Amino acid sequence: MVQPAPTTLAQATLPGATRALLMATLAFAACFSVWTLYAVMGIALQQQLNLSATEYGFLLAAPIISGAVLRIPLGILADRSSARRLWLYQMLAVIPALLLLPQVDSYAGYLWLGLWFGISGVSFTLGVRYVSQWFASSRQGRALGLFGVGNAGVAITFVLVPLTVHYAGWTWVGPVYAAGMLFISLLFALLAPKEPLQLTPPPCALSLRQLCSDARIWRFSLYYYFVFGSFLALLLWLPQYYMQAYDMDAQQAMAFTLFFVATSSMVRALGGWFADRYGGRAVNWSVFWVCIVCLFFLSYPPTTLIIHGLEKDVQLEIGINVWWFTLLIFIIGVAQGFGRASVYKVIHDYYPQHMGSAGGFVAAIGALGGCTLPILFGVAQDVLGIVTGCFMILYGVLALCMITMFFANQAAQYQQRLAQAQRNNFLLDDEPVLNTKDTPCK
């Protein structure tokens, strides 16, 4: 007797999908707030420990690097087992680190504790695998875009940490976050539905070797390195940038950074809708053009030009004031929000059954941007001595993304024209296939 085919991602959105998406987004927001804890604490720690820009960059990068590295093995594991169960274990594993936070008082201690906080960064990979199982292919962009709104969890950090410090002191930041993470873990365990049985992962889950040998995966990773990695790096770096470039106090700098983070995160759902409607590749290309124009202006350092005239010198001041700077950063943040959603829409188009492994690998490389870029920002500032060095680096990264995408699109168009010519008998194979056993299976 022939068994009926199981429901697939392309056929239907399953019952319970809305509840799964809601709980996943809530859990992701909580984990992301822990992952970016040093974005707020870092300024106080820099002053307390008298850190250089490079040392400050390493401090910000500590949670990011461990979260990035762990995304690959846990993403592969999520394709073979329950992403929901792995996610629950991950949330519980970070609670002891939060409880130890008040006991640390050295730079090395904060670095090691940051690596432990990084476990919470795996939540995105596990969430992508968990959420993608519930929705039809035609709704993947919107579903993953709504899930990505959990990036706004960093807003929790920008609000909760100052409030906790104001009313209870720095020593209570860790315990308050630990209590919140325990609450979210229990809520997730009770309310998040278990994965549908008809969508159990296929036995041929992608291995690390297969992922590393896939050029398309590396190309998607490079795109995500910019749209997510630079977003992560900017939310960590912007508070200090506002304080240095525009003489703001810490509270004002946090408020401007919170505006960037919140708007960039909230538009991700809209970006998913655009990716479903117009295609992820078209959205990505538009995002890159918008960002590279903005970065061109942001990269130019404050400059004074003296023109020697016949009778007197003319002095010109070239620079961007805080309001123009905030507008350009806002535009970049919105574009990156669209880009983060569209990249994962494209990934699902190519790897619908391997969102844990393929999505985890891309997320890992993207998160490495949040690790490596703050370090490069600090080195650029220490070496060049100019505050806009960070945007020069982002401009170079984006230029590489656009060059890569241009040639990839050209190759794809060539393959499409070649396939069309073969279908219309305009281009025939030189030799017919005589032995069907040598034809690779599809």
pLDDT tens-digit profile of 220-232? 888 889 888 888 8
pLDDT of residue 13: 62
pLDDT one-digit tens code per residue, 351-399: 877 777 888 888 888 888 878 888 888 888 888 878 888 899 999 888 8
Q: Sorting pLDDT into bands at 50, 70 and 90, what band is 240?
A: confident
Please give the structure tokens belonging to residue 150.
Answer: 């959990």
pLDDT of residue 12: 58
Length of the chain: 442
Q: What is the mean pLDDT of the chain?
A: 81
Going by C-beta distance under 8 Å and a sequence separation of 6 or more, which residues neighbour residue 426? Answer: none
Given the structure tokens 């059954």, which residue do they identify? 353
Q: Sorting pLDDT into bands at 50, 70 and 90, what band is 190?
A: very high
- In the chain the first and final C-alpha atoms are separated, in Å, by 25
Most confident of 66-80, 171-185, 361-375: 171-185
Enumerate the domain spans of the chain: 17-308+316-425
pLDDT of residue 442: 39
pLDDT of residue 291: 92
Number of H helices, E strands in the chain: 19, 2
Q: Sorting pLDDT into bands at 50, 70 and 90, what band is 98?
A: very high
Residue 387's Cβ-side half-sphere holds a number of Cα atoms within 13 Å equal to 17
CA torsion sign for 260, 120, 209, 144 is negative
Tell me if 359 sits within 8 A of 344, measured CB to CB: yes
Going by C-beta distance under 8 Å and a sequence separation of 6 or more, which residues neighbour residue 16? Answer: 134, 193, 196
Give the pLDDT mean for 47-72: 85
The architecture in CATH of the region 17-308+316-425 reads Up-down Bundle (1.20)
Most confident of 184-188, 215-219, 346-350, 433-437: 184-188
| Three-state DSSP state, 52 | coil
pLDDT one-digit tens code per residue, 18-45: 888 899 999 999 998 898 888 888 888 8
Give the pLDDT mean for 168-179: 89
